[in-house]
Amino acid sequence: MSPSNWSGLPVRPELLDAQPYGAPQLDVPVRLNVNENPYPPPAAARRDMVAAAERAVMEINRYPDREAIDLRTKLARYLGHGLGPDHVWAANGSNEIMIQILEAFGGPGRSVMSFTPSYSMYPEYARDTHTEYLVVPRRADFTIDATAALTAIDRRQPHVIVIATPNNPTGTVTDLDVIAAIADHSDGVVVVDEAYQEFASGPSALTLLPDHGNVLVSRTMSKAFAFAGGRLGYVAAAPAAIDALRVVRLPYHLNAVTQAVAGAALDHADEMLAQVAHMSLVRDAASAALRSLELTVIDSQSNFFLFGPFADRHAVWQALLDRGVLVRETGPEPYLRVCVGTDEEMGKFEIALAQVLRKNDGVDDNERWTA
Ligand SMILES: *Cc1c(COP(=O)(O)O)cnc(C)c1O
pLDDT digits (tens, 9 = 90+) for 265-299: 999 999 988 999 999 999 999 999 999 999 999 99
Q: What is the per-residue pLDDT for 365?
A: 42
Q: Whose CA is nearest to atom 5 of ligand 1?
A: 94
The answer to whether residues 134 and 257 belong to one domain is: yes
pLDDT value at 361 more than 70: no
pLDDT over 90 percentage in the chain: 91
The answer to whether residues 151 and 236 belong to one domain is: yes
Which of these three, 211, 240, 268, is where a domain ends? 268
Q: What is the per-residue pLDDT for 164?
A: 98
Ligand 1: residue of 99, 168, 216 to mutate (most ligand atoms within 8 A of CB) is 168
Q: Using one digit for the tens of pLDDT, what is the confidence trace for 219-270? A: 999 999 999 999 999 999 999 999 999 999 999 999 999 999 999 999 999 9
What is the side-by-side order of every strand in the sheet holding 189-193? Answer: 88-91, 233-236, 215-220, 189-193, 160-164, 111-116, 132-137
Q: What is the per-residue pLDDT for 220?
A: 98
If you average pLDDT over residues 123-139, what whole number do you get?
Answer: 98
The answer to whether residues 13 and 84 belong to one domain is: no
Cα of 310 vs its chain's centroid, Å: 25
Q: Is 197 in the pocket of ligand 1 (CB under 6 A)?
A: no
Q: What is the per-residue pLDDT for 4?
A: 58
The answer to whether residues 275 and 261 belong to one domain is: no
The DSSP result for 46-68, as a single string, is: HHHHHHHHHHHHHTTTSPP-TT-
CA dihedral 280, 302, 195, 265 (to 10 degrees): -10
pLDDT over 70 percentage in the chain: 95
User: How many angstroms is it from 164 CA to the middle of ligand 1?
Assistant: 10
pTM, 2 dp:
0.95
If you average pLDDT over residues 147-157, what whole number do you get?
Answer: 98
Confidence of residue 371 (pLDDT cuts 50, 70, 90): very low
Q: Which domain holds residue 294?
A: 3-41+270-368
Q: Whose CA is nearest to atom 1 of ligand 1?
A: 195
The answer to whether residues 242 and 198 belong to one domain is: yes
C-alpha–C-alpha distance, residues 214 and 251, integer Å: 25
pLDDT value at 151 more than 80: yes
C-alpha–C-alpha distance, residues 370 and 355, integer Å: 13
If you average pLDDT over residues 175-203, what whole number do you get?
Answer: 98
Q: How many domains does the chain have?
A: 2
Q: Is the torsion defined by CA of 341, 343, 344, 349 positive or negative?
A: positive
The answer to whether residues 96 and 196 belong to one domain is: yes
The answer to whether residues 115 and 228 belong to one domain is: yes
Main-chain phi, psi angles of 19, to 5 degrees: -115, 150
CATH number at residue 353: 3.90.1150.10
Q: Is the torsion defined by CA of 316, 317, 321, 325 positive or negative?
A: positive
Cis peptide before 108 (omega within 30 of 0): no
Name every residue whose Cβ is closer than 8 Å to that of residue 198 and which is 6 or more positions away in sequence: 223, 224, 273, 276
Question: What are the distances in angstroms from CA 171 to CA 149, 166, 201, 255, 298?
Answer: 19, 5, 12, 32, 8
What rounded mean pLDDT belongs to the chain? 94
CATH number at residue 205: 3.40.640.10
Which of these three, 268, 289, 308, is where a domain ends? 268
